Structure 1
């Protein structure tokens, strides 16, 4: 994934209490997809991107995944515009997935 480091840095920004590599694999990948969509790269409306992400988390994640994903994405759209090029640096975001 070309933007993985930038996406992980944004996840870290909106969920600072959770080191990115400690977030469940499903949740982390759902968040990556949704934040990519929220950046405007796909033209997907924000409400649709969040709803799809929450549905994926309910279907494939743990019992609390949908609430976690919804909370992180709510924080993401509550702030400034999301851009992949302006993603803050997060050292733990650079670690490769082991899945």
Structure 2
């Protein structure tokens, strides 16, 4: 039960919240029970969901600025939520290196989205990572 699996569950919650306006913590509790998640993994999943939702407006602002010619509402729901969670990790989780956050987002895209999604997601997250690396003391 690694972190990749935890990210998959967190993505499912974020997707439900985005698509059908599900109550996040009810969806989260249901999936945690459904998958019999160990306590340490559940803590990580909860932090991803809670953090992504708490910072949603800032995260969406980043996506809109870097997803040139792509309106957030026109993106595939799964891609939008992979970007959101990946950006949350990049911007707010100091324990997750940028390259790991990006790689994990790409793996989610390969599993849950269409063939072009990894390239699309890598382009946006990669641009943001470049900006962050240029000025490490500043979150873009």
Structure number, greater radius of gyration: 2
Bin of the TM-score, shorter chain as denominator length: 0.7 to 0.9
Post-superposition Cα deviations, 1:29-77, rounded to whole Å, max 9, x if no partner, equal 0000111111133520111101000000010001111110011111111
Rounded Cα–Cα distance in structure 1 between residues aligned with 2:77 and 2:68 = 17
Gaps of 5+ in 1: 87-99
Q: Which consecutive segments of 4 or more residues in structure 1 shift more than 3 A?
A: 80-83
The whole-number CA distance in structure 1 between the counterparts of 2:78 and 2:90 is: 18
> TM-score, length-normalised on structure 2?
0.56
Q: Which has the higher contact order (CA 8 A, sep 6+)?
A: 1
TM, length-normalised to structure 1:
0.77
Partner in structure 2 of residue 5 of structure 1: 57
- The residue that corresponds to 2:45 in the other structure is none
Q: RMSD between aligned alpha carbons?
A: 1.6
